[in-house]
Amino acid sequence: VRGLFVFREQLRSGVKDMLAWCRDNDLHVEVLTGDHVARGLQLAEELDVPVRAGLLPDEKQQAVRQLRDQFGPVFMVGDGINDAPALATADVGAAMGCGTDVSRYSADVCLLGNDLARIPQMIQLSRETVLTIRWNLLWAFAYNTVGVIIAAAGLLNPMIAAAAMVVSSLLVVSNALRLG
């Protein structure tokens, strides 16, 4: 033998940090892969997460449905054509690098680069965004309800009402700008 080459698939950067964050935040994580079962067992041991291996695209899609039934909304990260049906089925599908048209159009989010450590930041920003939207809607509803009652009673000058509406809009926009 003049030479020996050994190839081993590398884990994506940031995967262990991302998994630690998910555990710290009580998020259930599973790996769905089309890789052989032996590789799936290696991943399960290396990452300390449940792994379903040897899955075809429709089996990944069914697994996403099962996970949704068991745990609630599903966030799925995929990187290829075989992940497209599962990405489309997930509540939020994220395509890594968006290299293929199929995965890009099946996903809700396109992750530029291959660093999985950015996923916790994305989840946190999404949570903050939903909270901000809810707060802004509550504020607008309460403010407008009070404004309509005062205006209907004839206690509010229309010019003051218009100025107050601008101030309310500025507060909502300022609150939204805090994100990111």
Residue 20's pLDDT is: 92
pLDDT band at 51 (very low <50, low <70, confident <90, very high): very high
Is the pTM higher than 0.85? no
Domains, the chain, in order of start with CATH, read 15-114 (3.40.50.1000), 124-177 (no CATH)
Tell me: the pLDDT tens digits for 53-106?
A: 999 999 999 999 999 999 999 999 988 788 999 999 999 999 887 766 776 788
Whether residue 124 is predicted with pLDDT greater than 90 in this model: the reply is yes
**With 60 as the cut, is the pLDDT of residue 1 above it?**
no
pLDDT at 180 over 90: no
Residues 6+ away with beta carbon under 8 Å from 115? 12, 13, 14
Q: Do residues 63 and 50 touch, judged by C-beta distance below 8 A? A: no
Q: Are 76 and 92 in contact (CB under 8 A)?
A: yes
- CB contact burial 83-117 (16+ within 10 A = b; e otherwise): bbbbbbbbebbbbbebebebbeebbeeebeeeebe
Comparing 41-45, 103-107, 151-155, the range with the smallest average pLDDT is 103-107
pLDDT for residue 80: 79
What integer is the mean pLDDT of 10-37? 90
| pLDDT > 90 in the chain, percent | 54
- Helix, strand, coil abundance in the chain, percent, nearest 5: 60, 10, 30
